Each structure stands twice: as C-alpha cells, then as structure tokens.
Structure 1
C-alpha cells in the first residue's frame, strides 16, 4: 500500500464503517479543499478498483480522566461527505494547476459517440500539491497495471519525505518543514550581519539612542553613591568632610534626576522617530522583495503566512536592532562599570556576589536551544492559523452558501488550540526555567548580606559602604537579568531574520533582460515557435506548440479543462518562461522585452477577476492612471459596464470592499474588461472573459468586443465555442499539443475533436433551453 499521508486512526475507522477494510487500500492521500473549494480534511483512497473520497473535519479536545492526571488529547472525525467512483471508468489522472490552488482531474474513458470527458476529483491548496503529483503518478501506474511496490517508488517517496523533515547535518527534525531551516545549525552571526547592512543607514540615530542611554545609565550609577555612601559617611557622620550639608546632597540628587529625565526625553523622541522610519522602510523592503518574485513563488505559499512575515517579522527585526542591540551595549557598559566600582569598594564581596552568575549563563545557553524550537513551532502554528483565517474570510460566501459555519468554526478551533498549545508550552517553559535561574543569582545577594553584615560588626567596613555596595549589587543584577530575559525575544528575532532571508534571497523564475530590446511601434505579430513548458520538472504541460498570428488577426483557443489554454496566455505575458522554444512579438523574443514594454502592449482579461479596494473609477484607471474620466466612461460603455455603474448610489465613485460583496460576478468581470479596454493594448487576451455572465449579457458584450478587436491582435480563449465563429482561425489544444487548426467552418467539417466538443456543448445548451 502507498500511504502518501499519515492517515489518522479515526479516519481509518470511518472508512471501515463504510465496509472498506483499510488493509485493502492501495493508495491513501489527502487534500485540504472540498468540491466547493471550502477548506476541509479531504481523504482519497483507492481500494478494490474504486476511488473513495471521504471529506470531513478532524476535531480535537483535551480530556482529563482524573483530577490529578494530565489531560490527554482526544480526536474524532466528523464526516461531511462520502463519494466513490469506479477506477475502471477513467483512463488517466492529472493535476491541474491554477494561479492560487490546484485540483486533481480524471479523464473518463471515451465511448463510440463522444470524446473523453474530464471530471473533477478533488480540489487542493498549493500546500498539498506535491502529494497530489505523487498520488497521480501512483494511480496512473495502477491503471496501467504497473506494480508500485516492486518499482521501489513507495520506499523512495518515504525516504525523500524523511529527508525533507530532518536536518541532514545534525539529524534534528525541522520545526517548520516548509522552510527546512535547522535552528541549531543555522549561522546566526551571518544572519545578523546581513540585516546590519540595512540598519547601517540609521547608524547616527541609533548611535544617538545608545549615547543618551549610556548617559542615563552613568547618572544612574552615580545615584547610589550620593544617596548612600556619601550621604551616610560624609554628610551625616560628624567626622565627614560635608557634615550637616544636607541641602547640598538633596540639590545634587535633584540635579542628577532632572538631567536624567531630560536625557530620557531626548532618547524617547529619537527612538519614536526611528521606530516609525525603520518599520516603514523595512516593510517597504520586504514588500519590494516579495513583489519582484515570480508568480510561481506565490503558488507554493499561503497568503496568510506572507502577511505574517511582512507585519510581525518586520517588527521583530526592529526590536532587535533598535531595542535589544542598544540596551545590550548599554548594559554591558553598566555591568563593567558597576563591577569595577564594586571591586574598588570590596573585592571579596564582589566575588561572592558574582559566584552564581557563570552557572546561570551556562544554563541560559542550554535553555536557548530549547526555546528556539518552541518559538519556531509557535510561529508555524501562527502562520497556519492566519492562512486558514484568510482562506475562510476570502471564501465566506461559499461558507454561508453551504451552511458550513459550524465546520469552519471547528477547523478554526483546532488550529487555534494548536497555536494556544504552542504558546502555552513556550510560556510555561519560560516562566518555569527563568525564575529558577533568577533564584541562582539572588542566592549571591543573601551571601553578601550575611558576609557584609559580619564585616560591619567587625569594623572592617562602614555602614554607608555596605549600603552602597548592596545598591550596586542590585543594580548589576538588573542588566544581567536583561540578558537572561532577552533570550525569549532573541529567539523570535533570529527566526524572523531567517524567514525574511528566505524571501529576500529567493531568485525569481522570470527575470527581466538587463539590455531589453525596445519594441517601438507595435504591429501585433505573435509567434509561438516549438514552445515546451511544464510547471514541474519532467511534467510537460505544453509540448512543442507552434503557430503564428498576423497583426490584427483574431484567433480562438479551445480545448478540455487542463489542456493548457490559459498556460499559453500566461507564457505570452511572461508570468512564466518557456522551457524551450520561443515566443516572439514583432520578431522579438518576449524574454528580450522589458516588463513595462511587454505589459503596456499586451493586456489580459482573465476568468479569475480581481478588483482592489477603492472606487470603481480607481479600479478601471488601474490600467492607465493618467486616463481622463471621459476615457473611463467610454471604456465602460464598450464593456457593457456603464449602465449598471450609473445606477449605483455613487456611480463611478462607489467604493468596492474586499470580497466585492456589492457586485455580482458578471459586474466584476465587466469592470475588468473596461480596465483592459482603457489600456488600449495592441495585443488583447480574452481568457474566458465572459464566463461569469449570463447568456443575454454575454451576447451584448460580445457584440461590443467584436468592434473592439478590429485592428487589434486578439487571442480569445472561450468556453462557448459558438463565440469563435468570426475568428480568423481556431487552435485546438489537447494534452499540451495542437492536433487541429483552422477556421470555425473548417474544423466542423473535419468532424474531429472540435466537432465533438461543439456537438456536446450544443446539446448541453439545448437541454437547459438555450439555442445558439
């Protein structure tokens, strides 16, 4: 059996309750989205020639069996849906990658009168993409009758998985398997040096902060001597040099305090300004690093995790360089200064007061390694919770539509409890260990009180000197304890630096040419020359496609779901780069064209519509910020959006919130089309642009688009084949290849793939009362 995921015993029990013994399972896998793309635990099994999909939620809680016993975790699986298919009905399984997710699809075997039909098996986020590819490879081998066990693939997969989970150098398990960073082996000094370069631009401000802090600290060191030793031995003692001059002491103490307050105010003002500037610049730097990365980077990561990095990690790094580093420098000077004064006053008591400090630091070093693990785990759980919350809030309409509030609340509760447990472990460890270390240090305090008291009684030390010594001893413990306490924060800061280095060091898959070729006046000629491309190595999506579009021509691209139609559009605008072959515009390879030049002349209206928060006017002007209001209105009229926009309360100034709750899918799509029209590109890509519209709206917009595409090179990826009647020619994509090519009439006359697709679609439309 091939188990691509550790199946919980509760799920195995639910499967066996359906009459399917787990021993008969050939392949077991998991995804994290159901058919409606709602987050859930979606388990896929292949057993006895059937595919079984069991969707549900794993809910956990703590159960205490006795008053004095530790609570134990108890889990149960809540089933949401159960589906099974016959494996013999399918000839091939594939993973279809979308921009922000993926899905497993299966091609049903063809009969005499129809083409093979692609059906959805499971949706998944990019987190489970690697497991999905393994599942597809295994199930396709099973369909072909290949022996998975004898091939050794299963053992190899397990070996690879084990290698991915553990550090090859020290053998420790990664706290966060996605990052594969070992907290024990990482070069902490190198990480700090990397970020020191960024903070070098604030060296004068940070230097001013450190100077004011040292000045405040120096005044603080002076205070105990004035208020204790000097006051008792020189002012109150009849033999003192300043006997009776109490007002002098009060004046010195008051002046010292006023100066200290003024210096602290200056320090606070500088720190506040630096804090705002540093966090702004740091977040800007991080966002810039994220923004320059290719689209492939984001398809493998969760949005909530990246949001956490931009916000929390930036703050942690600021705390390190603007709080921890200055305070560390000041405290080192303070410790050295106080110890020197204590040695001058009484060497024996000084050694007694510091006898337990080396033991404490030895323990801190041991504790530090454990805390690193706890904090990395805590961050991983926090990122997981943020990602889930982002997914749920983004898809809240789907959650409401399927009445999944309780299930989503349960899923949120599970991850929230995991985060709470991680926080609790870190906090309990911190609050348990560090008080013990503090107690070690304060044992020295008790010894000094005892020995110092005997020395005063024996006349070897004055009462004022003892009080001064005790004050300094207490003062030296505070900076020492600072270094004990910052271990907790230092761990978070180092983890944050390491995570941000992952982002900043990531190399974009698509890089702009250093010496781009200017396009000049674009004619609109597009040529695909033997293009080969795959999202993953050794998995070809586009296989040797070649065609040429003359300036001003309109071509259609059709094919089954997952055939590679949208991939061709993504390659043209360089969201991805071809594996081999070339794509040219006016004879210039797109890889030699600057991003600005390329995307100024090529616009795409995708089936995945996105509108930003702001007004409708702002969203349309996003394509061309310098456009006039009249140009925006003209573009909206062509796109069929003007009529519904002017009916809104604030017309073009109507604000659109996150999730577009005020607009329908068709309305959002029309605004997206208006945005592309305003761009006025020489090359226009319509990637199922009218897919979200009803038939009447689609026909009205199609008429407007027919006028729009005149004199403009247009690539139309259409779900309704009849809309391509007026195309100069149509390309049929099948399994990454181009088996058919011709006009609408020519392809129907061939009675090949296009003919069968057209016939099936026509029949489906007639069944729902739509005549073409």
Structure 2
C-alpha cells in the first residue's frame, strides 16, 4: 500500500520557509529604509507609465469602431496626436525611472557591502580560520551584487504590472466577459507552475552557490601557497583538484539551469497557448456576431497586458529566489558574533606603557575538551627580553595571540601593566606591539604606506628613519620611485629578505 503524504510535516516545512523569508526581509529592511521616499517616487512614476500603457488600445478601439465604423472623421486628428504624444511621454518617464533605479540599486549594494565588510573586520581571528578567504570574498562581492536585483526595473515593474493587470481585467470584463474565462484558466496554470518549480530552483541554486564557495576557496588557497605548490612540484595534482571542483560546479549549474529552464519554458508555453486560444475564440465570436472587430482587437491587447505581467512575475519570482539565497549567505556573516568583544568604557592605553606582562593561571582551549594551556603562570617585568622556545604545537603562538587578545582565555587572566587585557580597548592595546610575522605579508600600496601601516599619521622622516633602522633604506632609495614604489607592480620585485625588513620597519 502506498504511503500517504505527511501533510502536517509538509505544512510545518512551509511555515518554516515563510518564517525564514519574513526574517530575511526584516533584516534586509534597514538597508532599504534610507531609499523609501525615492522608491515611492519611482513607484509613482511606474504607476503613471502603467496608465500611459493602457491608453493606446483604447485609441485603437476608437479608431476602428468610431472613425472607421461610424465615419466620425473629426475624431481622427485628436486621436492621432494622442497616439504620438503618449509614446514620447512614456519614453521620457521611462528614462528617468531607469536612471533612478540604477542609482538606488548601486547605492543599496554599496551599503550592504560596506556593512558586511565592516562586520568581517570586527570578527575574531578564529572566524577567518574557519571560513576561507576565497569563500568570504565570493560572498562579499558576488552575493552583494546579486542582491541588487531586489531593486531593479523588474522589481519596481511589479507595481506597474499590478496596475496594468487590474485595469486590463476590468477592461476585458467590460468588453466581453466570456473572453475573460480563458485568461482566468491560464493565470491559474501560471500559479501552479510557480508552486511546482520554485522549490526545485531554490535547492539547485543553493548547491551552485556552495560549489562556487568551495571553488573560490581552493583557488585562493593555492594561489597564496603558490611557492609551496611549485616547491613540491604539485602543479598537476592541483590542476586535477581544480578540474574536479570545476566539473562539480558545472554539474550543479546544469541542474540549476535545467530547473530554471523548465520553469521558463512552461511560463512561455502558457503565455503563447493562452494568447492563441483568446485570439481564435475572439475570431469565432466575431464570425458569430457576438463581438465586434474593435472589441476583439482591444480585448486581445488587454489580454496580453494580463499575460505579460504574469510572465514577468514568474521571471521575477525566480530572480527573488536568487536574491534570497544571496541575502541568507550575507546575513549568515552579519549574524556571526565575535568571540572577542570590547567592554563599554574600556581603558585606552595612552602615553608610556611600561610593558609588564602577567599570565595569571591562564587556561585556554580552541575547542571544548581540548585544553591547549592550563593554569599558565608567566610574569615578565618591563624591559625584560624573553624567548619562548619549544616544539611545534606547544603553545608559543597561542601565548602571543592571548597577549594581543586575538583570543580570550576561558579561565584566569592576562594583564599588561596590571590591567586585564579584557578591560583595555583593543585598538589602543595592539598599537603598542611591534610584530614581525613568520610570513611577511605586504599590501599592494606604496612602500611608504606599508611601513606606516601601524602608524598612519607617521611623517615621511619617521618612515625613512624606520627603514634605516631595519637596514632597507638603501634598497628602497635605489628603486625608480623610491618610497612611492607600489608593491606588486612589475617594477617592484622584492626578495623574501627585503619583504621581511620592510615588515620590521
């Protein structure tokens, strides 16, 4: 015996999806709120465009029935002028609408992108170890661009479509209610097509986005570690990994495009079938004397102004699914909470910091149950020079990370000059450190800007003095553009040692 569908479970699933959609919209709303009056103005323009689009069929009907049918020649000049002026006015308003929507859409994307980037910069270091750079970059740049579709011509066109549809439905019922019945049947089939396909489309494109994340992460990792790849002659192996990830993405894309194509083909088929049925039904009614030729012409035009919005809404619904997927992926970043937070009124380290460091019974773990440091007691007086020596994995880097408060201890305390680092403003504390990393990471800006990165307000004389202390001044001075040379360009090729000395400076 076949198993009956679990209707309560399906209902709960639908309720959860609706709740998720409402939650997504609630979180996106603050980004849209600053544009509410501009959007209202564009909606008003759209309504005007809708009214203008409704007029030509009435003019055509009047020409056929009144001018040609009843020989009222005096109406022709006025109707001709109106049929010329209406498209000109429609084009002018459309231009203003398109420019306005483009501005709002780009500004909206900019605000979302800045908010996500600001939040990412505020996250703790562990967040970036769990989420690859390629994945975060793909979401920051790619998904934010997709979200622009929520504010484009098609989305604002919904208002126009609603106005046109209501007007067209009223007009068709007024002209000939019998011809309206096929339209109602076709609209019902549009709704069924949407309900049947949209879930498949959403699942398919979620898989596509996940594959894109994996591919972007892999490319980022391998390009950054290019020296390691070449050192071990692993180019062919890495090419195979890239190929396999690309093929996996292509497979998901095929599934996604297949689902979208089925939806779009059904939509266009319904539109064409509906138009054909209405046309031949109208012809039959003209032959039977149940309708005039002018009525059928106007009716067919209005019928298309009902069916075309249905087509556009179907296409827009698919776009909005992509927007929702991108919004959920960006909101996943915005919802992530930093593990290292700053207390209100945190102490700022200003002036001379003596440099006394104390670890008081500090206990720390990255994952619960896997303690890295237990009851660590270290007391370093100001001015002392201390070296931490030990095998790989014993906790040397972890101790430095706790001192700089890249992580927080779970038990005990870490203090600088007797003040718990949890009570100190992070930025003011970290500016007191000078660090040379194992791998020298420089930005693609001028050498001078790289040297003054920890102190943006440093003068040029201070930059030069720091370079002399690090014994890199002569090398920089020998470059064609000196301290203005931009790292990463063809004219600036630095050795590993030169990069290290610039980092020291």
TM-score (normalizing by structure 2)? 0.92
Deviations 1:358-377 (A, max 9, x none): 13312311211111110000
Determine which structure has more spread, i.e. the larger CA radius of gyration: 1
CA distance in 2, matches of 1:409, 1:525: 51
**Aligned with 2:106 (options 276, 280, 296):** 276
Q: Any residues of structure 2 matched to 1:272-311 within 5 Å, and which?
A: 272-311=102-141
Determine whether 1:196 maps to 2:26: no
Please give the residue correspondences for 1:503-522 in structure 2 after superposition, counting only pairs within 5 Å: 503-521=333-351, 522=353
Q: CA deviation at 1:596?
A: 2.2
Q: Runs of 4+ in structure 1 displaced over 6 angstroms?
A: 658-661
CA contact (8 A) 1:170 1:185 kept: no
Equivalent residue for 2:67, pick from 223, 232, 235: 235
Change (3 A) 1:671 1:297: same
CA contact (8 A) 1:293 1:508 kept: yes
In structure 1, the residue matched to 2:78 is 248
Q: Which has the higher contact order (CA 8 A, sep 6+)?
A: 2
Determine if the alignment matches structure 1 residue 214 to structure 2 residue 47.
yes
Q: How does 1:225-374 map to 2 (within 5 A)?
A: 225-226=58-59, 228-237=60-69, 239=70, 242-243=72-73, 245-374=75-204
2:395 is matched with 564
The Cα of 1:595 is off from its aligned counterpart by 1.4
Indicate the SS of the match to 1:558: coil
In structure 2, distance between residues paired with 1:486 and 1:265: 21
Correspondence 1:664 to 2:492: no
Write out aligned runs for 1:176-187 (5 A): 187=20
The SS at the match of 2:118 is: helix
Q: Does 1:444 align with 2:279?
A: no
- Name the SS for the 1:293 alignment partner: coil
Cα–Cα, structure 1 residues 555 and 400, in superposed 2: closer, same or farther, change >3 Å?
Answer: closer
In structure 1, C-alpha distance between the alignment counterparts of 2:405 and 2:187, rounded to whole Å: 60
CA distance in 2, matches of 1:314, 1:577: 32
More off after superposition, 199-208 vs 430-439: 430-439
Q: Give the CA deviation at 1:441.
A: 4.1
**1:223 matched to which residue of 2?**
56
Is the contact between residue 101 and residue 153 of structure 2 (CA under 8 Å) also seen in structure 1?
no
In structure 2, the gaps of 5 or more residues are: 1-7
Over residues 558-611 of structure 1, what are the superposed CA-to-partner deviations in whole Å (9 max), with x where a residue is unaligned?
A: 111111011111111111111111011111100000112211223322213211
Contact 2:101 2:151 in 1 (8 A): no
The correspondence of residues 31-430 of structure 1 with structure 2, limited to 5 A, is 187-226=20-59, 228-237=60-69, 239=70, 242-243=72-73, 245-430=75-260
Q: Residue 711 of structure 1 corresponds to which residue in structure 2?
A: none
Task: Quote the residue 1:26 is aligned against.
Answer: none
| Alpha-carbon separation, structure 1, partners of 2:178 and 2:390 | 89
Q: Are the equivalent residues in 1 in contact too, given 2:98–2:153 (CA < 8 A)?
A: no
Is the contact made by 1:183 and 1:373 (CA closer than 8 Å) also made in structure 2?
A: no
Partner of 2:369: 538
Relative to structure 1, the CA distance from residue 456 to residue 185 in structure 2 (aligned partners, 3 Å threshold; closer, same or farther) is: closer
Give the one of 435, 441, 451 matched to 2:265. Answer: 435
Q: Structure 2 vs 1, CA of residues 484 and 185 (structure 1 numbering), >3 Å: closer, same or farther?
A: closer
For 1:489 and 1:183, locate their aligned partners in 2 and report how far apart those are by CA, in whole Å.
21
Residue 604 (1) aligns with residue 467 (2): no
CA RMSD, 1 decimal: 2.3
CA contact (8 A) 1:217 1:330 kept: yes
- In 2, the alpha carbon distance for the partners of 1:233 and 1:329 equals 31
SS in 2 for 1:543: strand
Unaligned runs of 5+ in 1: 1-168, 172-181, 675-772
Query: How has the CA–CA distance of structure 1 residues 193 and 660 changed in structure 2, closer, same or farther, with 3 Å as cutoff?
Result: farther
Q: Which has the higher helix share?
A: 2
Q: Give me the whole-angstrom Cα distance separating, in 2, the residues matched to 1:198 and 1:410.
A: 42
Q: Give the superposition deviation at 1:269.
A: 2.1
Q: Secondary structure at the match of 2:387?
A: strand
In the alignment, the residues of structure 1 paired with residue 21 and residue 156 of structure 2 have an alpha-carbon distance, to the nearest angstrom, of: 18
How far apart, CA to CA, are the structure 1 residues paired with 2:21 and 2:313? Answer: 17
CA distance in 2, matches of 1:563, 1:581: 19
Counterpart CA distance in 1 for 2:304 and 2:210 is 39
Equivalent residue, structure 2, for 1:529:
360
Partners of 2:408 and 2:152 lie apart in 1 by: 42
Q: Distance in 1 between matches of 2:9 and 2:361?
A: 47
Question: 2:458 pairs with 627, 636, 643, which one?
Answer: 627
Contact 2:49 2:160 in 1 (8 A): no
* Greater per-residue strand proportion: 1
* 1:477 aligned onto 2:307: yes
Moved more, 316-325 or 338-347: 316-325
